[in-house]
Amino acid sequence: MSKTPDSGKAEDDQPSTVEQYLVKDPERFALNMARMIEQAGKAASAWAEPREKGDVRDHVAEPVVDMVKTFSKLSEYWLSDPQRALEAQTRLFSGYMTVWANAIQRISAEGQDGDDAVKPERGDKRFQDPEWGRNAFFDFLKQAYLVTSRWAAELVDHADGLDEHTRHKASFYVKQVSNAISPSNFILTNPELFRETIASNGENLVRGMKMLAEDIAAGKGDLKLRQADYSPFEIGKNLATTPGKVVGRSDVAEILQYDPVTETVLKRPLLICPPWINKFYILDLNPQKSFIRWAVEQGHTVFVISWINPDERHGTKSWEAYIREGLQYGLDTVEKATGEKQVNAIGYCVGGTLLAAALALMAQEGDDRIKSATFFTTQVDFTYAGDLKVFVDEEQVAAVEKSMNEKGYLDGTKMATAFNMLRSGDLIWPYVVNNYMRGKDPLPFDLLYWNADSTRMGAANHSFYLRNCYLENNLSQGMMELAGRMLSLGDITIPVYNLASKEDHIAPALSVFLGSKYFGGEVEYVMAGSGHIAGVVNPPAAQKYHYWTGGKPVGDFDQWVAKATDHPGSWWPHWQRWVEDRDNTRVPARKPGKHMKTLGDAPGTYVRVRV
């Protein structure tokens, strides 16, 4: 019989037995089923009660409608040509026949190896249990699922008549459905879940339903999927612990200045503009991973913008407000704290997009305080903007705007769900199985605590972002209007360090590369290994991943990558050298509060507001 990737283990050689799937204590099992139903009732009540009170309105229909429309267009393409439809059906039928033949062979010739019709992709952790290959029933389920899901994906790939946006949406939705219907997600079709349920007489399901009820209650009627044990973590205690002070506070941002640890520092202070879609402390997660702490150790006087977690009071705060009351207010605060007008700036993700727009605006207004700009996984051109673009077309943006206008903001859980869906096979279904079916608490993990610490989106701010960037791509085309001015990225002539991540699903490396050509000055394009977070938060001491440097970011992206120089480890020291090559003048270290009153200790108050 065929083996799974883990077939080298001793227990894999043990024969599959029916006994492990038979209930040993029917009375206890029945009692636990009753307890599970009781907990399921509590989960249903937690879901229904806020809806009955009118506190929660369901918007599930909107994405489902879009998915149905997308699949309808896909079906129309295949069914419009009988020959094409027959060929598609034949491919699926052929795959099923191969699976069926293999299953018959295993049943009739016990112990004889057979080739799988299709194998899981490398790194797929769903089918590692030996029974997926050893037991004919579960092996049949696995192969039938893989054949079906890959056939569906190929339908999208080969639908030449679809426009690119519809094809992108169809591919995304097919992946979501495929991940959802995997046999690994259900008790009776997952051998490991089946055995655990039988071995514990269903107690795992009781615990799981209890956790489900708790998570729906925590989400105030919506499921707030727990991805880690959050209890060990506390902001300011074991997260965001780099010492510093709050040196400024506006309606949209607190400005943090960190304590120096070197006798001298670079003359130019460093102002970091993080995304407001997540909280800034991804750059200060713990002392070992903290980019902020590392930058302080290299001699930077580090200032960070900590964005407000908006509520109804901030519904009309626009991008201009975030520039004036965030970025430029930060520059004003840096000048008051240090006396310096020349600043190095970093923007991360949408914080980088805001920084780019601000630089274009400031160039027209004669504000030249920022002398170099670094962008972490930042898009300024959204032609190839990754899977988030699936959620952006006129109908969907209008629906989001309608939802936001009711409260003045978009609920943080909505954004968190969207980001989790980008990697649902890693960030949703493994936790659904572990939490609600196995009944096991997830392990503590600081990164997933940060991921779950979601933020709301102010209505005016988020609407401007969706329309001007994802929907209309105005920034790179010179058509974004701010403060009565049409912005041009070509006006940004200061040196730019443009960091992409090779496996980024939010700001794809290709998208960042193509955006480089719109800046008006020198651009250093660097591609880090890994993804949107790990590619950025990669301290040198970890000795992980690689980064690539090369010539100017022009021409074909694949050719640039092929010719690029591969460097092992972190890009952080490379960036430090780049900054110092522009200006390495040093001055005595600056302590927060020397020239102005401080407003409390870092990480401040805005970052502690939870949703």
Label residue 113 by pLDDT band (50, 70, 90).
Answer: low
Q: What is the pLDDT of residue 510?
A: 97
The residues, ordered by sequence, that sit 6+ positions from 518 with a Cβ below 8 Å of its Cβ are 380, 381, 476, 489, 490
Highest mean pLDDT among 102-116, 147-161, 271-285: 271-285
Residue 461: which residues within 8 A CB-CB, separation 6 or more?
276, 310, 314, 317, 318, 319, 321, 322
Give the contacts of 158 (CB within 8 A, at least 6 positions apart). none
The pTM of this model reads 0.90
For residues 378 and 96, the model is more confident at 378
> How many separate helices (H) and strands (E) can be counted in the chain?
21, 16
Residues 434-460: tens digit of each pLDDT: 999 999 999 999 999 999 998 999 999
Q: What is the pLDDT of residue 115?
A: 65
Q: How far apart are CA 31 and CA 201, in angstroms?
A: 9
Number of other residues whose CB lies within 10 A of the CB of residue 557:
20
How much is the pLDDT for 352?
A: 98
Nearest-angstrom CA–CA distance, 602 and 240: 8
- Per DSSP, the three-state class of 212 is helix
Under the banding of pLDDT at 50, 70 and 90, the label for residue 11 is: very low
CB–CB of 70/169 below 8 Å?
yes
Contacts of 257 (CB under 8 A, 6+ apart): 244, 245, 247, 301, 302, 303, 333, 337, 592, 602
Preceding amide of 275 cis, omega within 30: no
Is residue 440 within 8 Å of residue 595, measured between CB atoms? Answer: no
Element (H, E) at 48: helix 26-52
Confidence class of residue 265 from pLDDT cuts 50, 70 and 90? Answer: very high
Q: Give residue-wise pLDDT tens across range 286-301.
A: 999 999 999 999 999 9
- Give mean pLDDT, residues 142-166: 91
Greater model confidence, 415 or 377 = 377
Of all residues in the chain, the percent with pLDDT exceeding 90 is 74
Q: What is the pLDDT of residue 9?
A: 39
pLDDT tens figures, 269-289: 999 999 999 999 999 999 999
Cβ(456)–Cβ(411) below 8 Å: yes
Strand ranges in 343-408 using DSSP code E only, listed in sequence order: 343-348, 370-376
Contact 197, 189 (CB under 8 A): no
| CATH architecture, domain defined by 244-608 | 3-Layer(aba) Sandwich (3.40)
For residue 304, list its beta bridge partners: 256, 272
Work out the average pLDDT over 343-372.
98
pLDDT in tens, 303-317: 999 999 999 999 999
Q: Where are the domains of the chain?
A: 21-219, 244-608
Residue 152 has pLDDT above 70, yes or no: yes
Report, as an integer, the average pLDDT of 480-509.
97
- Side chain identity, residue 221: G
Q: What is the mean pLDDT of the chain?
A: 92
Name the residues annotated as catalytic.
349
Q: What integer pLDDT is reported at residue 278 of this predicted model?
A: 93
